[in-house]
Structure 1
Amino acid sequence: MSYKYFIPIKNSITLLFLIHSFTSCTSYDNSDIIVETPVQIDTTNQTGEENNFTPIGTIEILNIDKIDNNFILVNDAGANRVYIMNKHAKLLYEWSFSNNIGNDVYLLSNGNLLASLEADEPKIPLGGKGGKIQIIEPDNTTIWEFIYSSEGGETHHDVQMLPNGNIIAMVWERINSAIAISEGFMLEEDIYPESIIEINPSTNEIVWEWNSMDHIIQDYDQTKANYGVISENPNLINLNYTPQNEILPGVKGDIMHANAIAYDKVNDVIFLSINAYSEVWVIDHSTTTEEAKVHSGGNYGKGGDLIYRFGNPNTYQNPKGTRLFHNNHFPNLLEDNNQGKLLIFSNGNDIKQSTVYELELPSTYSLQTNFNNEPTVTWSFTDPNLYSGKVSGAVPLENGNILITEGDFGFWEVTRENEVVWKFNTEGFFWRGYSYSKNSPEIKLLGL
């Protein structure tokens, strides 16, 4: 792999001298140097560090003065690799795993990893399959493991640790075709709707659970008890939305395909990214498991019904809202001064164009019929070259920039003024990238 550097011609310095100055302090061939938009750089030490390493990918430095200088934890699901690199594409730390990664892996504040992995023999082999969750110490010692993998259900994609130390995970529940039809599903096939479980790692007990099938509605079979008018029930989930959706004609049972989970500790609610519906569901976590099965109870009085949803009002036949998402990944809830906002990646499968949105959520979660329930867009970024039909996401950086993961490319760093200042590319399939300050506790505990 090689570096690409974008170098200015400044004042009376000739291009030949500039290239000579740069190559004299590096080991890279000058055929990798590209002259582009001027930026001010120190040609005696372009990267700010010794260059006695082999970069793990190609970087483009577009404006060195505006690049965040912290580390990235890379989830490369295609290569089953999780590693930390710096902005010079230098590999700093890498873990090994007992099983293939089931997508999400991230650092906890104590330096351990929380990892969603594939079970030894996944029973529901859909995209993002999992079945095993582990906590792993920096020396690759597994200190906790939870297996949830059977013909009846399997964890998948994403996990998150709650402030109380418990862990929430998404589960595909297998519903056979006969039961699906009895619930008003319009196709004769097994389905895999979404559930959420909360695990206590001290006991391995499931201490809370939510199941989407307790909160469905359909307007296909009027003989069923859950038959109703979709537009009049925005808190319920249209069981047949995906089979009727022209974008995903062959659903093959994975009718919802949740791909991310997030927890809002201020409001005690869970965000679930539903890729097949091109929207995010918000669920009240303050309920008991029994309340989560019904339509009342909890802080919001709705039990396990959706207290809010956004991204695609077509899912509940709402003519007032404007659709934002075309498949989506990683509802990343922001904190501190940005509390109440989130970043999210809209893949844009049907339009072949991806967009990152920053959204300001409503101060009170509610859903009304025939009303624009969508959040406010406070920032967005797209580019003709930004497109990944799968995975991907965005995180804020310490300097105010945004780090974007483009799943089949690598990473972009962009400013709030939508200036691209840095890019990284290598062969891989990148689930997410997480940014960690060089001075953060978890990085120091790794000895970096």
Structure 2
Amino acid sequence: MRANIIFKIVFFALLSLLFCFSCSSDDITDEKKIDQEVVEDENVSPVPVEVVYPIRGATGEVLDYDQDLSKDGLVLINEATYDRVYLMQKDSAIIVHEWQLEYGLGNDVELLNNGQLLASLGVVSPEFSFGGFGGVIQILNPDSNVEWEYTLSNEKYLIHHDVEMLPNGNILAIVWNLKTRTELDEIGYLGNQEKIYTESIIEIDPNSSEIVWKWDSWNHIVQNVDASKSKYGLVNENPQLININYVDILRDDENPDGDIMHANGLDYDEDNDLIYLSVNNYSEIWVIDHSTTVDESETSSGGRYGKGGDLIYRFGNPNTYDNKGNRLFYNVHFPNILDEDVPGKGNILVFGNGNGGSKQSVVYEFNVPSQFNLQPNTDNELDVVWEYTREGLYAPRVSGAIRLDNGNTLITSGTFGVIEVTDAKQVVWEFQGDGFYWRTYHYNFDATAISFLTE
């Protein structure tokens, strides 16, 4: 199967190389050269071809490529600027497959093991919207035909940003929830907005298109400004609850658009039945118990961890709950639990955008404890076991990182492109694109997710 995939890819690579070598010398700015074998036919002996980097592809340039240290495979690019999703060859930036989308990107799109595409897409005319709005989830076949579609977009609710398929085939999605001024007055909200939008997570069964589970942040908030109102409590004594009046130094304290939390990414930990949610305007990661029933998720008891829908843990910005510890995140994206197929199993990668004074993005790998013990007035921040940054790495929005099975880390910088680094932090592949990038996913040549390329 891999030989067939390579044959298809290399055919396009040869066309690209012919084009590149016909360009003027002004298009070649790097003296680095590597040898690469190009096979036109399985029965023909390999012919060495000298490849010069940078090399121009359809949507950007491969600036550098170390064939020995980079992980062999294809990358799936989510390019938000032009609403494009495509599989790209790493050595030449040649697109080997692209999907035609009915709607614009609502951000996350990834390949499933069966070769279908799971996509969060943006409805044409939402009743309200913020950055990363969606409204539509689709499962698409390789020929771009829609296999399944689910829409949640009205004046009260809107799907946005990220989607995740669970092992049972159900789909998790993030949803904005409208809260009116009357509701806000009842709980002592300090902002002046007439309405705000809080976050919830829903689980959809594609077989019935029904919501079978839900978690709502509104059920787990605290305010310490008015004892006569509901949800009152001391913020620093309730780390499991969300301070509805928290205002980060990174945003206007009026926050006129009402998107006060702005969750932007989620991941599911199958071993512990937990959901990790990145919350950009709080600059932290929330850990939520997925084992609860729908009723338990509205309370502070029940579920595997006995806390209902209260936060099992949180990290990245202890200021949100008046706690001890050092703040690491100044805006944050893509909590990514490392699975058993990659080094660091059980740890978590997080992209810290770095919108504070440093204007420096950092990819962090945290050690996740075997048991969570969220305590008040205690340093609850996780230990950093690996991190990566470099001069000029700064993406104020989107972005993320994944771990490859050879130990390398693939980093998407939303305003730049993609880089692959080793555990020793050596850059072994670098792609600078023309677009704005949500995430990049990597697929080995023998991955079943890309087996449709041989059909």
How high is the TM-score relative to the length of structure 1? 0.89
- 1-side partners of 2:306 and 2:36: how far apart? 60
After superposition, residues 22-421 of structure 1 pair within 5 angstroms as 26-35=21-30, 41=35, 44-47=48-51, 54-61=57-64, 63-87=66-90, 88-189=92-193, 190-242=195-247, 245-249=248-252, 250-251=254-255, 252-319=257-324, 321-336=325-340, 337-350=343-356, 351-421=358-428
Give the letter for the 1:184 counterpart.
G
SS in 1 for 2:148: strand
SS in 2 for 1:398: coil
Aligned residue pair count? 420
For residue 436 of structure 1, report the CA deviation from its aligned partner.
0.5
Task: Tell me, in whole angstroms, the C-alpha distance in 2 between the residues paired with 1:207 and 1:116.
Answer: 19
1:444 Cα deviation after fit? 1.1
CA distance in 1, matches of 2:234, 2:275: 26
Question: Secondary structure of the residue that 1:187 maps to in structure 2?
Answer: coil
Distance in 1, Cα, partners of 2:311 & 2:129: 28
Q: Which amino acid aligns with 1:268?
A: D
TM-aligned CA deviation for residue 328 of structure 1: 0.5
| Residue 432 (1) aligns with residue 439 (2) | yes
- The residue type equivalent to 2:351 in the other structure is F
The 3-state SS of whatever aligns with 1:276 is coil
Query: RMSD across aligned C-alpha pairs, in angstroms?
Result: 2.1
Query: What do the CA deviations read for 1:290-318 (whole angstroms, capped 9, x no partner)?
Result: 00000000010000000011111111111
Q: Check whether the contact 1:69–1:86 (CA below 8 A) recurs between aligned residues.
A: no
SS for the counterpart of 2:114 is coil
The AA in structure 2 aligned to 1:32 is: D
1:442 is the counterpart of 2:437: no
1:48-97 per-residue CA deviation (whole Å, 9 max, x = no partner) reads: 9xx9x954311111644322221100001111000010112111100011
* Cα distance change on mapping 1:54 and 1:172 into 2, 3 Å: closer
Kindly, what percent of the aligned residue pairs are identical?
A: 48
Deviation of 1:26 after TM superposition, in Å, equals 3.4
Give, in whole Å, the separation in 1 of the partners of 2:207 and 2:192.
41
Amino acid at match of 1:392: S
Moved more, 116-125 or 388-397: 116-125
Taking structure 1 as reference, are residues 42 and 101 closer, same or farther at Cα in structure 2, changes over 3 Å only?
A: closer
Cα deviations across residues 220-244 of structure 1 (Å, max 9, x unaligned)?
22221211111110000000112xx
Q: Distance between the aligned counterparts of 2:259 and 2:19, measured in 1?
A: 56
Decide whether aligned partners of structure 1 residues 379 and 84 sit closer, same or farther in structure 2, where only a CA change above 3 A counts.
same
Q: For residues 97-138 of structure 1, what are the alpha-carbon distances to aligned partners after superposition, in whole Å with 9 as ceiling and x for unaligned?
A: 111110011100010011111123212211111111111111
Q: Secondary structure at the match of 1:389?
A: coil
The letter of the residue matching 1:157 is: H
The amino acid that maps onto 1:74 is I
- Answer whether contact 2:250 2:330 (CA < 8 A) is retained: no
Q: Deviations over 1:138-157 (max 9, x none)?
A: 11111111111110111100
- Give deviations 1:162-207, integer Å, cap 9, x for gaps: 0011111000001112211222110121110000111111011111
2:197 counterpart SS class: coil
- Return closer, same or farther for 1:342/1:28 CA change in 2, 3 Å cut-off: farther
**Cα contact 2:59–2:434 (8 A) shared by 1:** no
In structure 1, C-alpha distance between the alignment counterparts of 2:290 and 2:57, rounded to whole Å = 47
Question: What is the alpha-carbon distance in structure 1 between the residues aligned to residue 283 and residue 390 of structure 2?
Answer: 20
Please, which runs of 5 or more residues in structure 1 have no aligned partner?
A: 1-21
Which stretch has the larger CA shift, 120-129 or 137-146?
A: 120-129
CA contact (8 A) 1:111 1:446 kept: no
Distance 2:133 2:291 in 1: 28
**Contact 2:190/2:245 (CA < 8 Å) preserved in 1?**
yes
Kindly indicate whether the alpha-carbon contact (under 8 Å) linking 1:154 and 1:171 is maintained by their aligned counterparts in 2. Answer: yes
SS at match of 2:106: strand
Matches of 1:81 and 1:312, distance apart in 2: 34
Where 2:68 maps in the other structure, the secondary structure is: helix
Helix, strand or coil at the partner of 1:338 = coil
Q: 1:217 to 1:60 in 2, by over 3 A?
A: same
Instruction: Tell me which amino acid in the other structure corresponds to 1:367.
Output: L
C-alpha separation in 2, matches of 1:54 and 1:344: 29
User: Tell me, which stretches of 5 or more residues in structure 2 are unaligned?
Assistant: 1-16, 38-47
Q: Distance in 1 between matches of 2:444 and 2:36?
A: 24
Look up the equivalent residue of 1:257 and give its one-letter code.
Answer: H
